[in-house]
Structure 1
Amino acid sequence: MADTRLIQSRYRLLDLIGRGGMGEVWRARDESLGRLVAVKCLKPMGPQHDKAFTRILRERFRREARVAASLQHRGVTVVHDFGEHEGVLYLVMELLDGHNLSQLLEENQQRPFPVDHVVDIAEQVADALGYTHRQGIVHRDLKPANIMLLTDGTVKICDFGIARLGHDINVTSRLTTTGIAMGTPHYMSPEQIGGKDVDHRSDLYSLGCVLYEIATGVPPFDLADPWAILVGHRDTQPEPPRTHRAELPGFFDRVVLDLLAKAPDERPADASDLRRRITLGRSGEHETLGPSPLPTGIAGAYRTPESAVRRPAPELPPWARNMTSGSQATGSLNRGTGLPGPAAGLTVRWTTATRAATATPPGTDRSTGVPPARPAPTPELLAGLAGRHSSAIDLGRLGRWEEAGDVHRAVAAQRESLLGPDHPDTLASRHEIGLTLSRTGRAADALREFGQVAAGRERTLGPDHPQTLAARQETAHVLGQLGRHFESHQVYAAVLAARERSMGPDHPETLRCRHHLALNLTRLGRPEESWQLARQVADDRARLLGATHPDTLATRYEVAYTLGRLGRWAEALETYQDVARARAATLGPDHPGTLAARYEAGISLGRLGRSAEALELFRTLVADRTRVGGPSDAETLRARHGLGVNLGRMGHWEEAVTEAREVCAIRESTLGPDHPDTVLSRREVAVALGWLGRWAEALVAYRQVAEARGRGLGPDHPETLAARHDEAHCLDRLGRKEESAELFRTLAAQRAQNALPPH
């Protein structure tokens, strides 16, 4: 690889910055975009290695590289690209300016970090893990060498996906025969050691080990014998960190011990729960977190003597026999060669030296062209802004979009003042502002915001950067919200072409774009094309992510929807039922996605004339929706609407009119009299009254529907005309023939006028 120097005619290797058991890391230049990047190359397997295992390993690298490339979070190393060149698999990542925690410990002779830095690192890693775990990704090799501290105070987790390679294959029988090193055992969870199923709580245990080490200077089981270390993780309670370092705050001691619980169920429920505990602890014990110098100048030597007693080793997995404990579980800096140690990660400068010039900043000296000096923000201030940014995202996830928007606007203003309008963090805040505007019905404002973010990211990061494309894709979504479906389709198509060009056809973001393009085709009245594309995306997602992955199920849901639009209700029903079962198993029976699929299955049953089954489904769905969301929740009312419709189909018209009236009343009080859902319920009231022969009451209801639709949709809209047609039918039933005939004539003239071609 060193002789090649140029990969795929795009990435020029400049110098080697890291080497490990699995491959090398190079500083490189992206010739297409003119930026510096890091390129990680997987070491080719020699003929002495098991060919079947090599094939599995390479396929796993590709699959996990795709997943890693889909992660976009301040606390996760950005993956730009991946592929294969002359038999060598490579991964292209952002180039970072900082050191990993293992290096910092060694450079400071294993002295612990200052307390405030330890707590800040814990909070930032918890935030990043919370994001990755929500994406269904478990790191499985979290250790100091895989956590980077940048010079601006940002903490990033490295090697997502790559660290999972060995663990996703049959490690107990394969890895010990291939010569691939397993690494050190200092950070492995008890369930990893025992060969049991591993989930996100294993990462929390590993984080507890990391925090223990950077807070005290030693890992929780600081022994030279790897068997003794493994037994310690499995069977021995660690000493509280404060027994080694009394100045540690009490809340931190409790947090670390909870993370190091032997049973996963006894640890924090998830990384978000961990982050909340840290935040609450900081607010309650802030007096212990005074200012201190940066970690590169850590002061105050502390070294815990080896005091742990070696115990006889019970039975452990066979693969553990070949493990070595390493040197206090830290990496090394080969100062003679200038290369980081085996797992040092990416430790050189992140640069945007090739960014295009932006607008002249206010205050620029026009005679010299020198912009005004901007005060350098402190790491603490940047970290605080990052925390507020993440908190606002959490508010959005809770549906509190207005509050989230207020926080994002405040953070964006401060970031722009400190970092500039085109800094990635400033643009990240503005991107989130756009999302809050979109979610609160301000689509036109959101369109302007996303347009400006996309332009800024194109200047800063390049036109094909994932973040630039993400902003353009949101632009397409908002255009659809505004009813500008053709423009939306054009933007989606352009973004898709860029994603396929820069990321490849199988990248998760490429597939996400194709998914949304399929949805937009339905809006354009092209359901057959929509179905064809959605089916292809579902197949590709199943192949790459698995048949029960949430993204795969989301696309299969859209396949079912397009089948319904095509009148293929039996196929739609079968697909909705499959999606509902899979979501119940993977997301839970009360997950909104599970309940939505059950609702659509009920609609399909009704369309197939299987009203008795539909009625039973809607009865249980109403009960579940009421329990989960409450009686006035919009989805509860949708389920009750479906129940009322099927009561009518079964001939239970008295029950149907009662149900429709109750739903209509709640919708009117919560949504307003002219809301489409309220009008739909009022029409169901009218239908039921008509079937009961109560035509005078039905006439009043139909007139209310026509008036509301006239105000909302216009007097010539097909739905408004349909309501007036029902009104004329009621007049006829009441014996008011002349009025009925006159209204029918008026409607016929309006429809004829609407059918004329525009001049």
Structure 2
Amino acid sequence: MRGLVIGERYRLDEPLGCGGMGEVYRGTDTVLDRQVAIKLIHQKHIGDDEVVRRFLREGKLTARLDHPGVPAVYGQGLISEAAHPLHGQLYMAMQYVDGWNVDDLVASYHPLPIGWAVAIAAQICAVLHHAHQFSVIHRDLKPGNLMVTSDGFVKVLDFGLATALGDPSQSKISMTGVPVGTWLYMAPEQFGDGSEVGPATDLYALGLVLYRMIAGAPLFDTRSYADTMRGHVLEIPESLRAFRADVPQDIEELVRQLLAKAPDDRPAGALEVYRRLLPHATGLTALPGAIGSELTAARMYAGVLADSSSEATPAARFTRGDLDRMRRRATGLARSAQAGEAIDLLLDTACQAAMSMGSDHADVLEVRLDAADLMFGNGRYAEAADAFAVLVGDLTKRDGKDDERVLNIRRREADCLVCASQPNLGLAKLQDLAVDMDRVFGASDNRTYDLRHQISLLLDGLGRTPEAIDALEELIADVSHELGPEHSRTRLLTNDLERMNRKL
């Protein structure tokens, strides 16, 4: 296929690699005269809707992540020319990354110096932090998907299995029911139904990558699928210091936390991991043939801000005053129609405050709630639903599942899902919530009545009008018994019931 031109501009020059979904070629953009990487979907997958969906999704998600640690996407499309040898195939043109993948780097320079292992992991954290802010979970982070350039910069590749939390079109398991990911680098929750997959899933994979770089071999290598799964789900990893005495104690502890079996037991986020790694990213001498030591133009550019960054030294304590000041600034941004900037500021503030005050501190939770509310108010429903869901989990651990605030945020999460084109999931969550509110507040509480009314209206909106009528009739009977048939609430419900009956 060498020499073929696709998309009227991209020439295939030489194959770079082949995976389960497609092939990657080094190519040339003949319009701009630059090297590119061209990914082609395998011919055998053209009729596979799931594979095609993933390929198209990869282009969109990767393009959304405008970050120096993610290759840029130049274009994606279908080869439609009937006479073309690759007619009907999908392609994606991306930034060409010249370097070594981490697997090859570790194989050639084992043992990899601690400083370089940490520096690579810290750069991965920067990409993950950015991706997670967009609710994008990679799900297939592994050494083969990580490229290190001759300048020492890391590029995270292959978002083909990535998922955007809250997006109904994106599955957490394949249509065949097989868990998504690569055995050796999958988190325990990926071997289940995928319901717990989230940012912590990528952190587990990062822990496995860091383990591989330091120990020189994957954690559960040379095993069958069943044995690998058992290792991830049940076994305690062997200490890194059993392999190398030069592993710092806090790096040992960090890897142990990253590899915790339960997502909630892992570090709070990629930003926290980055800050814990950074003090150890030192002594970065050349790795001959792979990474140079000279001051290149790229290092000069990146070094300007790095040299003045407060992250190079232990972070100053984030105070209540700092938090209040940032919240006021975010409020000002939101009022000035800069909601995106306000949300980013609130999320960053919550991360910084959590480092000093604790992730479950009331003020930190308030900032996170502000960010979620702002997402919802600005139409970022899927992101808001995910943010509310995480808050529900954290507040439940702190205050219990029957806390009124927990119940209120559960309702907000469900509302977001309805607005995010997931009405059936939102309905299911509202119905579960109704059971709990009935138990906590009582069947005759106004909050319970309001929720039951909302559920009936949602059922009607989903075209399930007979079910909506049944639910509304039960609600009217309860309200009429408690408040009387002439009460304004009873009359409002009766009007809705009459409207629904007219539709049948």
TM-score by length of 1: 0.39
Instruction: Output the CA distance in 1 between the equivalents of 2:170 and 2:308.
Output: 34
Find the partner of 1:377 among 278, 296, 299: 296
Q: Which residue does the alignment assign to 1:73?
A: 67
CA contact (8 A) 1:112 1:213 kept: no
Partner of residue 195, structure 1? 193
Asked if 1:220 is matched to 2:219, the reply is yes
Change (3 A) 1:70 1:584: closer
Aligned ranges 1:202-241 → 2 under 5 Å:
202-241=201-240
Partners of 2:136 and 2:34 lie apart in 1 by: 28
Instruction: For 1:3-82, list aligned pairs within 5 A.
Output: 5-45=4-44, 54-82=48-76
Aligned partners of 1:153 and 1:382 also within 8 Å: no
Q: For residues 266-306 of structure 1, what are the alpha-carbon distances to aligned partners after superposition, in whole Å with 9 as ceiling and x for unaligned?
A: 10011011112223x43xxx8xx4353327469xxxxxxxx
Shift of 1:59: 2.5
What is the CA–CA distance in structure 1 between the aligned matches of 2:16 and 2:34, rounded to whole Å?
17
Q: 1:153 to 1:30 in 2, by over 3 A?
A: same
The Cα of 1:390 is off from its aligned counterpart by: 8.3
Alpha-carbon shift at residue 183 of structure 1 (Å): 6.8
Moved more, 238-247 or 378-387: 378-387
Rounded to whole Å, the distance in 2 between the matches of 1:101 and 1:196 is 27
Alignment correspondent of 1:103: 104
Distance 2:383 2:101 in 1: 44
8 Å contact kept, 1:104–1:295: no
Tell me the SS of whatever aligns to 2:295: coil
| Uncovered stretches (5+) of structure 2, i.e. residues with no partner | 80-86, 341-371, 396-407, 413-504
Aligned residues: 339
Letter in 2 for 1:187: Y
Shift of 1:227: 2.1
Could you tell me which residue of structure 2 aligns to residue 347 of structure 1?
none
What's the offset of the Cα at 1:76? 1.4
Deviation at 1:219, TM superposition (A): 1.6
**Which residue matches 1:135?**
134
Aligned to 2:78: 84
> Deviations 1:653-680 (Å, cap 9, x if unpaired)?
xxxxxxxxxxxxxxxxxxxxxxxxxxxx
Q: Distance in 2 between matches of 1:257 and 1:57?
A: 35
Counterparts of 2:100 and 2:383, CA distance in 1: 46
Contact 2:69–2:127 (Cα < 8 Å) also in 1 = yes
Q: CA deviation digits over 1:438-489, x for unaligned, max 9?
A: x99xxxxxxxxxxxxxxxxxxxxxxxxxxxxxxxxxxxxx9x99xxxxxxxx
Shift in CA distance, 247/90, structure 1 to aligned 2, threshold 3 Å: same
Aligned-partner residue type, residue 188 of structure 1:
M
The equivalent of 2:500 in structure 1 is: none
Distance across 1 between alignment mates of 2:126 and 2:102: 17
Question: Cα–Cα, structure 1 residues 587 and 34, in superposed 2: closer, same or farther, change >3 Å?
Answer: farther
Alignment of 1:29-428 (within 5 A): 29-45=28-44, 54-85=48-79, 86-108=87-109, 111-162=110-161, 168-169=170-171, 171=173, 174=176, 184-197=182-195, 198-279=197-278, 281-282=279-280, 289-294=282-287, 296=289, 376-377=295-296, 384-385=303-304, 387=306
Q: Please state whether the residue corresponding to 2:38 is helix, strand or coil.
A: strand
Q: Deviation of residue 582 (structure 1)? A: 6.0
- 1:196 aligned partner, one-letter code: G
Distance 1:389 1:38, change over 3 A: farther
Per the alignment, in what secondary structure is the counterpart of residue 43 of structure 2?
Answer: coil
Distance 1:84 1:380 in 2: 38
The amino acid that maps onto 1:294 is: L
- Tell me how far apart the structure 2 counterparts of residues 125 and 5 of structure 1 sit (CA, whole Å): 35
| Aligned twin of 2:84 | none
**What per-residue deviation string (whole Å, max 9, x for no partner) do you get for residues 686-723 of structure 1?**
xxxxxxxxxxxxxxxxxxxxxxxxxxxxxxxxxxxxxx
Residue identity in the other structure for 2:107: E
Q: Is the Cα–Cα contact under 8 Å of residues 50 and 175 in structure 2 kept in the other structure?
A: no
In structure 2, what is the Cα distance between the partners aligned to 1:255 and 1:94? 33
CA distance in 2, matches of 1:297, 1:36: 20
Q: 1:584 to 1:119 in 2, by over 3 A?
A: closer
Partners in 2 of 1:214 and 1:379 — Cα distance?
24
Shift in CA distance, 391/84, structure 1 to aligned 2, threshold 3 Å:
farther
The Cα of 1:580 is off from its aligned counterpart by 13
Q: Compared with structure 1, are the counterparts of its residues 148 and 580 closer, same or farther at alpha carbon in structure 2 (3 Å cutoff)?
A: closer
Task: Give per-residue Cα distances to partners, 1:519-559, cap 9 Å, x unaligned.
Answer: xxxxxxxxxxxxxxxxxxxxxxxxxxxxxx999956659xx
Q: How far is 1:107 from its partner?
A: 3.3
Letter paired with 2:184? H
Tell me the distance in 2 between the aligned counterparts of 1:380 and 1:185: 35
Question: CA contact under 8 A between 1:79 and 1:92: conserved in structure 2?
Answer: yes
Quote the RMSD (CA, aligned, Å).
Answer: 4.5
Partners of 1:384 and 1:11 in 2: CA distance = 34
The question of whether the paired residues in 2 share the 8 Å contact of 1:104 and 1:296 is answered with no
1:510-589 correspondence to structure 2 within 5 Å: 556=379, 585=388
Distance 2:261 2:118 in 1: 23
Counterpart residue type for residue 68 of structure 2? R
Amino acid across the alignment from 1:220: L
1:116 positional shift:
0.8
Q: Secondary structure at the match of 2:71?
A: coil
* DSSP-derived class of the 2:213 partner: helix
CA–CA distance in structure 1, aligned partners of residues 382 and 299 of structure 2: 46
1:253 CA drift (Å) = 0.7
The structural deviation recorded for 1:162 is: 4.5
SS in 2 for 1:45: helix
Q: Specify the structure having the higher radius of gyration (Cα).
A: 1
Distance across 2 between alignment mates of 1:263 and 1:16? 40
Query: Residues 173, 130 of structure 1: CA spacing in aligned structure 2 closer, same or farther, 3 A cutoff?
Result: closer
- Counterparts of 1:332-731 in structure 2, within 5 Å, are 376-377=295-296, 384-385=303-304, 387=306, 556=379, 585=388
**Conserved 8 A contact 1:152-1:382:** no
Q: Structure 1 residues 203, 84: closer, same or farther in 2, change over 3 A?
A: same
Contact 2:163 2:172 (C-alpha < 8 Å) held by counterparts: no
Question: How far apart are the structure 1 equivalents of 2:25 and 2:220?
Answer: 34
Q: State the identity as a percent.
A: 35
Question: Which residue identity lines up with residue 176 of structure 2 in the other structure?
Answer: R
- Please give the TM-score of this superposition, normalised by the length of structure 2: 0.57
* Deviation (angstroms), 1:217: 0.4
**1:153–1:385 Cα change, 3 Å:** farther
Alpha-carbon separation, structure 2, partners of 1:277 and 1:160: 26
Structure 1: which 5+ residue stretches go unaligned?
299-374, 405-435, 441-477, 482-511, 513-548, 558-577, 599-759
SS in 2 for 1:205: helix
Structure 1 residue 4 displacement after superposition: 7.3
Q: Secondary structure at the match of 2:200?
A: helix
